[in-house]
Amino acid sequence: MKTTKSFYMSMWRWHFYAGLYSVPFLIMLAITGLIMLYSPFIERWQNQDLYYVESNASTSISFEDQKLLVQSAYPDSWVKRFYLPKDTNEATRFQVIKDGEALSVFVDPYKGKVLGDLSITHSLYAWADDTHGTFMMGLTGDWMIEIAVSFTILLIISGIYLWWPTGKNTLLNGLKIQSKKGRGFWKELHSVTGVWIALLLVFFCISGLAWTDVWGKKLTQSWSSFPMEKSASSVSSTLTHTDLNVKGVKQIPWGLEQSKLPVSEPQDGTTLPTQISLDQVIQKAKDLNFTQFQVHFPQGETGVYTATASSMGKDIKDGTKDKTVHFDQYSGKVLADVGYADYSWFAKSMAVGISLHMGQWGWWNLAICTAFCLGVILLCVTGAIMWWKRRPRQSTRLHAPTKPKDLSRWKHAVWLLMPVALLFPLAAIAMFSVVLLDQLLTRLIPPLKTVYQ
């Protein structure tokens, strides 16, 4: 309930400041999210001559021979990953690192030839992913986006408070647009859209924040990662599962990224031990009930073969069936076997949630994600239109909602929003900056007050 006008104005003022910062980022996140949803389909459609082959099972060559073909075609490059074809009419796909650039290399297993390659590093998806995660500004951009997403949770809390029907208005009436024109129409379109997508917005915020630097990597992921020492007898001192990813493509389960990689044990003797073949690794993975999966090749003499089937890698859509197995590159011995049951509770929620976040459950999931992204853009645009209609014509001032005369209400609003600050460190810093700007700097620097009021 709106207890007093002062408290309402305090919440509105917080809503305005949070939106002022977050709106550009939310529009960017929604647009890049749409690109990431549809770019894989576009890439396959544009490059059907690479992705698809004419099936002829009687003449197919072994996977190991296909790997040798790729190594021959790309000398002085590193063959990093293999993708098991989903169907007999699909080309075999390898991931190759050439001069620092990641490439998808396609092989026709029936004709025994390399069909060509596509850049992963410079793909539309990689550009959208980099923009989506860092605003193409590295760690600084990551922090800016983390603040924006944290502020979005503040926007949801304050927005629901501002929307909450009072008096004769009912919750049912609050879920539909009743005004037909003017600022009232835009206000209702904004608030109704926000209420309808609020739960989805919280879900996308939390699952998105799990990838950020501070709340994600340093806080949540650090204590949610699987302790590989619990499963493997010996682990690497320098390599983690993050090293299995390449720039522009995250395909390792969230709960394993910071976990150490196991190490292979070279056989005793004076001769250099021999690696097991890719076909042997694939067969061992199938014996362990893998169906659709990837194989990551060993990195160095103590590296391991890693078979992964995960929602993050888009091998499977059901995160509860996530599975990662490491094999000794010489003996083929299973060094570690980690599945969904071994994840922490938050890593389990990420395994399930990420497939929903990326629209992998079919056309209905893709449609919901599309509608959600469009809803976020509509929410941002209508908020900007409301502000534009509220401000006096030809004014150069920001015209934030009026500061309440009863400043205790402003403080009460701060306490109400304190849980956001406690949960998300960068949000706390941003909220403190807003209070500092609004309460102190505008008094010390009069021209600043002219702009903000």
CA distances from 19 to 136, 147, 156, 382, 384 (A): 22, 12, 10, 12, 9
Residues 418 and 313 in one domain: no
User: Where a domain ends, among 309, 343, 377?
Assistant: 343
**Band of the pLDDT at 274, cuts 50, 70, 90?**
confident
More confident residue, 139 or 429: 139
**Count of domains observed in the chain:** 2
In a domain, 80, yes or no: no
In a domain, 77, yes or no: no
The helix (run of H) or strand (run of E) holding residue 34 is helix 5-46
Which range of residues forms the domain containing residue 326?
226-343
Contact 32, 132 (CB under 8 A): yes
Residues 6+ apart with CB under 8 A from 10: 404, 409, 410, 412, 413
Coil/strand/helix, residue 49: helix
**Band of the pLDDT at 72, cuts 50, 70, 90?**
very high
- pLDDT averaged over every residue in the chain: 87
Single-letter amino acid code for the residue at 147: I
More confident residue, 130 or 2: 130
Residues 177 and 310 in one domain: no
In a domain, 339, yes or no: yes
Q: Over range 110-138, report the average pLDDT.
A: 92
Most confident of 73-77, 162-166, 178-182, 262-266: 73-77
Residues 378 and 336 in one domain: no
In a domain, 164, yes or no: yes
User: Where a domain ends, among 278, 313, 343?
Assistant: 343
DSSP 368-381: HHHHHHHHHHHHHH
pLDDT in the model for residue 179: 75
Residues 246 and 322 in one domain: yes
In a domain, 234, yes or no: yes
For 138-176, write each residue's pLDDT tens digit. Answer: 899 999 999 999 889 889 988 998 888 876 777 777 777
pLDDT in the model for residue 249: 79
Residues 382 and 435 in one domain: yes
For 365-422, write each residue's pLDDT tens digit. Answer: 999 999 999 999 999 999 999 888 877 776 666 677 776 665 555 555 566 666 776 6
CA distances from 270 to 266, 273, 331, 425 (A): 11, 9, 16, 55
Residues 372 and 445 in one domain: yes
User: Where a domain ends, among 289, 311, 343?
Assistant: 343
Residues 380 and 255 in one domain: no
Residues 9 and 149 in one domain: yes
- Identify the CA nearest to 33 among candidates 286, 375, 363: 375
Token reading at 180: 């037909």
Residues 142 and 177 in one domain: yes
**Band of the pLDDT at 2, cuts 50, 70, 90?**
very low
pLDDT in the model for residue 1: 41
Residues 369 and 316 in one domain: no
In a domain, 205, yes or no: yes
Phi then psi for 76, rounded to 5 degrees? Answer: 60, 25
For 329-371, write each residue's pLDDT tens digit. Answer: 999 999 999 999 999 999 999 999 888 899 888 899 999 999 9
Q: Over range 54-62, report the average pLDDT.
A: 86
Residues 249 and 337 in one domain: yes
Residues 371 and 338 in one domain: no
In a domain, 243, yes or no: yes
